[in-house]
Structure 1
Amino acid sequence: NVASPGSLNTVQLGLIEAEADVSEQRIMLERSTQRVEQLERTLERSRRIVAGGGTGEEVQSLRHENDMLRKRLAMLETQLAELTAALDANTPRGGGRGGVGRNRP
């Protein structure tokens, strides 16, 4: 049984795609792990503060982080409103969102 060159190329392509998927999943796992570790540190710091063991520096750090997150949220909400307005301006009346999500013939 000799594999044809075409089927061998297909198998090789599938292998390359699988390796790329594995690499991508590893990167996503690493990012998720880093995020979990960051959240665990923040949670531990918050618990110390709530228990009265937090330093003034930790409290100030959390306040600063909270302010930064609020500003980021406001910016994202503004961007969302602008994008929604632009999308609505480009959407034909009565046609939904240009057929997005519908099967077309």
Structure 2
Amino acid sequence: METLSIRAQRLSGDSSGFVSNYNLAKKNQYNSETNPTGICNLGIVENQLCELELVKKLQFIQTWKAYYNYYPLPTGELTSRQQLCHLFEDILQVEQPLDPESGSCVNIE
């Protein structure tokens, strides 16, 4: 296992779980084009020399956006309001199109 550090090689001698997990990760490595759901090996976490590069790479491959967590406005997501307006226009057969900017989507419990 030439890819392991000397310390990791010593630990792997009596730690079969480490070796088996390492081998699983090695077989399913992350690649942005060929394997976007693969494993990103974070085995260098304690090595602060690569910390900035690691953080930069993790931010680059992040697929979840912060705005997925919250609506940008209390009136609801604009695209949702637009689709609701189109739906109501079709159902109600209104003469003038509804304005999604003037509507709001709220949840009343």
Normalization by structure 1: what TM-score?
0.30
Higher relative contact order (CA 8 A, sep 6+): 2
Normalization by structure 2: what TM-score?
0.30
Q: Which has the higher helix share?
A: 1
